Structure 1
Amino acid sequence: MTTYAVTGATGGLGSASITALLDRGVAPRDIVAVVRDAAKAADLEAKGIGIRVADYADRPSLDAAFAGVDKLLFISGSEVGARVAQHTAVVDAAAAAGVGLVAYTSILRADSSPLLLAQEHLATEKALAASGVPFVLLRNGWYWDNYAASAPTALELGVFYGSAGDGKVAGAARSDYAAAAAAALVSADPGAVYELAGTQHLTYADIAATFAEIGGTPVRYENLPQQDYAAALVKAGLPEGFAGVLADSDAGAAIGGLDSDSDDLVTLVGRPLVPFADVIRPALTQS
């Protein structure tokens, strides 16, 4: 019997990855959901999945959570700027617990990406390499889901703002990245590095056109300088640091940082990927 653990199990990717493991035939009793708040994991517990409470900033809690775990899906944390210390604690705890395989959700081409987001991911990859723990790298590209929140506003204004120029994004649905993570956790060989990107290569003008097609209202893309876009995001209510990261990611997209011809994702998933329009449609058609 193999025990699988998933960190961040109540988050979007974590919960989807657990669903994907179940879809692959892994028994609920063989899955451990590692969460920060057990109250949010009631639905997982009801399915017979084990719940363990831990925080990336609390090493003893991680030691307890990883006890007896054979394979760990390590989903990167969300606290940009604090992740190197937090992720190192996860890696060290996995090593101390004798975890047999860690699959880490990194970022597309972490070792050469122009995105600021890549720095903490690359540091985590290096920590894994130094730890001696067998690992697999899931270098996730951009999520199509990232555009769902901005779609209604773009439809209302008739304008989709960004700073990506004519750069293309080879994104994919969160559910597809989750399916790939489950596949890799179950069957990948240690040392595998997967560059995970979608099969659609969309510019921001293409994205705006999709908003328009689904919403039935004209939407154009307006490209802004990176600093202006960051300022606009702050004005819209985003924290300054997060706005800066998003604007930097757009600027990275402009020079190819979010595009890739890799077919690793579709190979791992083993089926056609979810189209961008299908990811966005619910955000624009809710009553």
Structure 2
Amino acid sequence: MNIVVTGATGALGRLVVEELLKRTAPGDIVALARDRAKAADLAALGVRIEAADYGRPETLSGVFAAGDRVLFISGNEAGQRLTQHRAVIDAAREAGVALLAYTSVLGGPTATFSLAEEHLATEQALLASGVPYCLLRNGWYHENYTGALATTLRTGAVVGSAGGGRVASAARRDYAEAAAVVLTGSGHENAVYELSGDTAWTMAEYAAEVSRQTGRRIPYTDLPQERYVALMVEAGVPALGAQLLADADAGVARGELAATPGDLSRLLGRPTTPIAESIAEALRRLPSWPGGPS
């Protein structure tokens, strides 16, 4: 039996492999990547690398084997994901994998924003396949917000369209560690985990914490959805991506990413990473920030 991680060279996939290496031998881990060269560092650690592309179903043939435990990280091509995801599910079913853990979205069928649609359709396809599954319904990452800190500091404001809605986000590494726990543990077959941070916060509270840590006055500017889309497009975000992000903010405003059921901290056996800690870490990584890399 191998533990297989799809999308292993992505931001989440790499962290999952790192967490798996703390728990099992590198020879037991298979990392799937579209480009083998991007996984060279993982190969150097003894991880087996297989080339596979969701968009090319023929590349999925033979990458899974009977008894494998697979982390199926969702694709990032909006509008193409369901077709691609079905190809992964079909390949896993044909191989007879022991577990297919899919990174879905917090709330599952209660999530009504557009980004959730392909996740929900994938869940339905997975359940209909008969493959032993685990639904890892991930909430938002802290990094969705801290990744924009350079822009926030340059413009002097946190901008969004989430109103006073709360976000129960967690660090990307928290979700990666939880996935590694599931892949190396037992009793997770046909389970559903609603994964989110222990504490939900508003965008105004996020801006206040950034202000506290930077010593600058950085307010939250809440925009109508249409204006927020236009602002992102002006900044170079593709129109479809901008619309999906603004629509997700509308979901936040409706409370769809605020749940704190505690599944993530229970899997981790510890509290989730506070947003303040991730803000501090992101600031340390900014070259322009005192104490950041030179």
State TM-score, norm by structure 1.
Answer: 0.96
Identity of aligned residues (%): 51
1:135 aligned onto 2:133: yes
Instruction: Spell out, residue by residue over 1:241-266, the C-alpha distance to the aligned partner (whole angstroms, 9 max, x if none).
Output: 00001100111100101110210000
Hey, what's the Cα distance between the residues in 2 that align with 1:232 and 1:27?
47
Q: Is the 8 A contact 2:199 2:260 kept in 1?
A: no
Q: Which runs of 4+ in 1 moved over 6 A?
A: none
Cα offset, 1:149, TM superposition:
2.6
For 1:191-206, what aligned pairs fall within 5 Å after superposition? 191-206=190-205
For 1:23-102, what aligned pairs fall within 5 Å after superposition? 23=22, 25-68=23-66, 70-102=68-100
Q: Is the 8 A contact 1:66 1:94 kept in 2?
A: yes
Q: Is the 8 A contact 2:160 2:223 kept in 1?
A: yes
Per the alignment, residue 120 of structure 1 pairs with: 118
Instruction: Spell out, residue by residue over 1:133-159, the C-alpha distance to the aligned partner (whole angstroms, 9 max, x if none).
Output: 000000000000111232222222221
Hey, what's the Cα distance between the residues in 2 that align with 1:130 and 1:118?
19
Cα offset, 1:68, TM superposition:
4.9
What secondary structure is seen at the aligned counterpart in 1 of 2:61? Answer: helix
Instruction: Spell out, residue by residue over 1:155-198, the C-alpha distance to the aligned partner (whole angstroms, 9 max, x if none).
Output: 22221110000000000000000011111122242110000010
The one-letter code sitting in structure 2 at the alignment partner of 1:78 is N
The one-letter code sitting in structure 1 at the alignment partner of 2:40 is A
Per the alignment, residue 13 of structure 2 pairs with: 14
State the Cα RMSD in Å: 1.1
Cα offset, 1:112, TM superposition:
1.1
Cα offset, 1:69, TM superposition:
5.6
What secondary structure is seen at the aligned counterpart in 2 of 1:156? Answer: helix
The one-letter code sitting in structure 2 at the alignment partner of 1:231 is A
Hey, what's the Cα distance between the residues in 2 that align with 1:29 and 1:153?
41
Cα offset, 1:280, TM superposition:
2.2
State TM-score, norm by structure 2.
Answer: 0.94
1:134–1:68 Cα change, 3 Å: closer
Hey, what's the Cα distance between the residues in 1 that align with 2:276 and 2:128?
41
Cα offset, 1:282, TM superposition:
3.3
Instruction: Spell out, residue by residue over 1:184-232, the C-alpha distance to the aligned partner (whole angstroms, 9 max, x if none).
Output: 1222421100000101211000111121122221100011111110111
Q: Is the 8 A contact 1:4 1:70 kept in 2?
A: yes
Which runs of 5 or more structure 2 residues have no equivalent in the other structure? 288-294
1:68–1:190 Cα change, 3 Å: closer
Per the alignment, residue 174 of structure 1 pairs with: 172
